[in-house]
Amino acid sequence: MSKMFGVGVPAINKKLKKTFNNGELDEKLVSPILTYRVTDGKLCRTAYYNLQMIIKIGTMLKSADGEFP
């Protein structure tokens, strides 16, 4: 998402935490964590965010006060 919106990873993480802490979106519903095994045998976990969360973060980044308009 940071590349998509042209901001740093810390900015995205701050908005994600704010959204989850405020209870605006349920983390379990908008970001499933997928576990997969890579070629060297290690397990990796990656969070994938759905479109609802991506739109929410984009709106927060574009607004002046960081809140949903």
What is the residue-averaged pLDDT of the chain? Answer: 86
For residue 28, CA distances in Å to 20, 50, 61, 63 come to: 10, 11, 22, 25
Decide: helix, strand or coil at residue 36: strand
Domain residue ranges of the chain, discontinuous segments joined by +: 2-61
Q: 20-44, pLDDT tens digit by residue?
A: 999 888 888 888 889 999 989 899 9
Instruction: Count other Cβ atoms within 10 Å, centred on residue 49.
Output: 18
Burial of 53 (0-12, 13-18, 19+ CB in 10 A): buried
Distance from C-alpha of 34 to C-alpha of 40, rounded to nearest angstrom: 18
User: How much is the pLDDT for 68?
Assistant: 47
Q: What is the pTM of this model?
A: 0.70
